Amino acid sequence: MARILTGIQSTGTPHLGNILGAIKPAIDLANDPLNDSFLFIADMHSLTQIKDGERLRNNTYAVAATWMACGLDTSRSVFYRQSDVPEVTELAWYLQCLFPYSRMTLAHSFKDKSERLEDVNAGLFSYPMLMAADILLYNAEKVPVGKDQMQHLEMTRDVASRFNHKFGETLVLPEVLTSELTMYVPGTDGGKMSKSQDNTINIFDDAATLKKVINKQLVTDATPLEDPKDPDSAVVYKLYKLVASESDAQEMAAALRAGGYGWGHAKKALVEALVDGFASERTRYNELISNREEIDVALAQGAERARAVASEVLSRVRGKIGY
Ligand code: ADP
Ligand code: TRP
């Protein structure tokens, strides 16, 4: 049994890239009976960028509904909202007092964000220590994250060792879990699908909206309908391959290579694959988001279970420090 923990920033409705690249693989890990998992919505980290309470709340619901609609079993996993267990900020403070300022200044993600964002606040700077507290507060052993978060995991291990060295063995050093095989989902413009690029596909949209997005935004070249086409260089095919069955994908590839099959046909097939392939997720998402009570109940239950672990670890930490 390994304790897996990961946090999800709440910055809006997750897109197809987030779902295939991060959410579905994490749900598979969480639903694996060999793991004991903690999954939380990092809404305190989101405050570094979003200062509007309603937006913060709505984003949390959109993210929670996505995880639940995509099959997360919230009775098995501890699924909670970071701000429901504010003990994490106390641990973050202790960690900040142990971690050298000079090392904090080496964080790549802060450098990157401080060049891009207008609101460069101190929370953005201390972000990695809140993340370390998220992990250490729950004795996490394995933390699945994208490559961009690896340095934060190194900082977490570093500050945990410093704590253990100074006050005696207390905190569990987590291991990072990154998959080399992480799926790459292209956006409608052919670049990486990303919420900052206006090239996303929202699988929860209705059929008419999906049709409009794919027809208007998805790039294709000017090869005439009759001509043979190379499927592997076409965004529409790359996306279709990710969402359709293997045999349907092979059929489309063959039709494109043969000629007489146009981009319009391929787009129509992609829309159908998105509409049908995510039909149950879409129904469930809409159900959850239109009556948030079920989400509230799941998150409240998660908060209670998370808190039981957090308060035990925190009281050990306080004792070791000498309070
Ligand atoms: P965005 O690029 O939209 O801002 P994030 O950086 O918040 O997305 O990523 C959240 C998670 O989703 C990360 O684990 C990331 O690896 C995954 N992810 C984001 N975009 C894609 C994509 N186009 N293909 C595969 N995985 C993705
Ligand atoms: N910083 C992570 C991200 O942007 C989200 C996160 C916050 C997280 N706390 C965490 C991930 C703890 C793993 C563990 O994706």
Arithmetic mean of pLDDT, 163-192: 91
Helix (H, G, I), strand (E, B) or coil at 176: strand
Neighbour tally for 252: CB within 10 Å? 23
4-32: burial string, b at 16+ Cβ within 10 Å, e else: bbbbbbbbbbbbbbbbbbbbebbbebbee
- pLDDT for the residue 11: 84
Domain boundaries in the chain? 2-184+292-321, 205-277
pLDDT tens column, 136-147? 999 999 999 888
Q: Which of 33, 30, 50, 34 has its CA nearest to residue 2? A: 34
pLDDT at residue 178, as a whole number: 81
| Cβ 113 under 6 angstroms from ligand 1 | no
Q: List residues near ligand 2 (CB under 6 A).
A: 5-7, 9, 42, 45, 131, 134-135, 143, 145, 149
The fold adopted by the segment(s) 205-277 is: Tyrosyl-Transfer RNA Synthetase (1.10.240)
Positive or negative: CA dihedral 201, 59, 43, 117: positive
CA of 232 to the centre of ligand 2 (A): 33
* pLDDT higher than threshold 70 for residue 180: no
Strand partners, 79: 39
Tell me if residue 192 is catalytic.
Answer: yes
CA angle 102, 163, 105 (to 5 degrees): 15
**Average pLDDT rounded to a whole number, residues 73-90:** 97
- The DSSP code sequence of 153-172 is HHHHHHHHHHHHHHH-S-SP
Atom of ligand 2 nearest to the CA of 45: 7
Is the model more confident about 19 or about 180? 19
pLDDT cut 90: percent of the chain above it: 93
Query: Ligand 2, residues 126, 134, 155, 178: which to mutate, most atoms within 8 A of Cβ?
Result: 134
CA–CA dist 296, 298 (Å, integer) = 6
- Indicate if 238 belongs to the active site: no
Residue 181 has pLDDT above 70, yes or no: no
pTM given for the model: 0.94
Q: Hey, which of 6, 15, 18, 239 would you mutate to test ligand 1's pocket, going by the most ligand atoms within 8 Å of its Cβ? A: 18
Q: What is the CA(189)–ligand 2 centre distance, in A?
A: 27
The active-site residue out of 195, 238, 268, 320 is 195
Mean of per-residue pLDDT scores for the chain: 96
> Looking at domain 2-184+292-321, does it have CATH number 3.40.50.620?
yes
Instruction: State residue 147's pLDDT score.
Output: 83
pLDDT tens readout for residues 34-69: 999 999 999 999 999 999 999 999 999 999 999 999
